[in-house]
Amino acid sequence: MSEQISKPVRVLSIAGSDSGGGAGIQADIKAITALGGYATTAITALTAQNTVGVQAIYPVPASFLSQQIRSVLSDLGTDAFKTGMLGGNAEIDVIADEISGYRLTYPHTVFVLDPVMVAKGGAALMQEDVIQSIQKKLFPLATVLTPNLPEAERLTGLSLASVADMKAAARMLHAQSGNAILLKGGHLSGDTLVDVLLTQDGFTEFSDTRLDTRHTHGTGCTLASALATFLAQKKTLIDAVALARAYVRQAILEAPHFGRGDGPLWHAHPFRSHTNTR
């Protein structure tokens, strides 16, 4: 008799599509798969995008976003939700309703909320009323929020220039949501990068040396997807963060060096044969 193979965890990514393959839905699928999960998707927007920037965005109607989510949940189900680029108020209403409805039956389903509201170049991607809608309707549903510094500054109104500032912002965001906060410190100056995790039990700091590279496109999406996958696999939050950070760091180290701008990561490094050359 053949050995029974355990089923992979299921992770539903609700985010925008990146035609360049480095971020968004494409990065999520790659990361979830590389880490042993099964990726399903609901696309909030299509983008014409590459390593140089975003040339165009084509939003998906809220009604069709709802159909995508319901189609997945009614048949395949999920062990974790991960959200990225979300769209407008109508789309946020749909996502909140679908997650809340699913949790009536599966109350322990993980939800990693990556509040994508600032582009890599610094441009704002959301209007203030949309941010307020996310804070009111999605923050209370999240297992963990994963903002970077520009996003945390916009959410809190604070200027963040140190780890102490990050902790103050994390406290504010924790008070808003009631849930865990992973505040990413990649935008701080210096050779040491610190991420701050705040839970009901207090702070945990994760630090690493900065990598001198421009190939970091999609790191936020990738980290959030990895975190959702590890949490769905029943890792503790601290362990899941540590594992997700290690996965992203190695993906940066093994980046394929594509494109003229902020290049993508190599998400498939767990499968890479190191005897092969590029």
Q: Is residue 277 among the annotated active site residues?
A: no
Catalytic residue among 78, 156, 216, 229: 216
Active site residue 219: yes
Interior/surface letters 56-74, b for 16+ CB within 10 angstroms, e for the rest: eeeebebeebbebbeebbe
The yes-or-no answer on residue 109 being catalytic is no
How far, in Å, CA of 154 to CA of 113, rounded? 16
Rounded-to-integer distance, Cα 193 and Cα 46, Å:
32
Instruction: Respond yes or no: is residue 220 known to be catalytic.
Output: yes
What span, in angstroms and rounded, lies between the C-alpha atoms of 17 and 22?
Answer: 10
Active-site entry in 51, 146, 184, 185: 184
Of the candidates 16, 218, 222, 263, the residue annotated as catalytic is 218
Q: Provide the token pair at 156.
A: 């809190």
Q: Which of 51, 87, 221, 222 is the catalytic position? A: 221
The structure tokens listed for 129 are: 């009323």
- Structural tokens at position 218: 């999609």
DSSP 105-164: H-TT-EEEE----B-TTS-B-S-HHHHHHHHHHTGGG-SEE--BHHHHHHHH-----SHH
Tokens of 61: 């109607």
What distance in Å separates the CA atoms of residue 49 and residue 65, rounded to the nearest whole number? 21
Catalytic residue (choose from 33, 40, 219, 229): 219
* Interstrand relation of 192-199 and 180-183 (parallel, antiparallel or unpaired): antiparallel
- Report CA 170 to chain centroid distance, whole Å: 17
37 has catalytic annotation: no
Phi and psi based region of residue 189 (left: phi greater than 0; alpha: psi -120 to 50; beta: remaining): beta
**CA 156, CA 262: separation in Å to the nearest integer?**
27
Confirm whether 156 is a catalytic residue: no
Residues classed as catalytic = 184, 216, 218-221
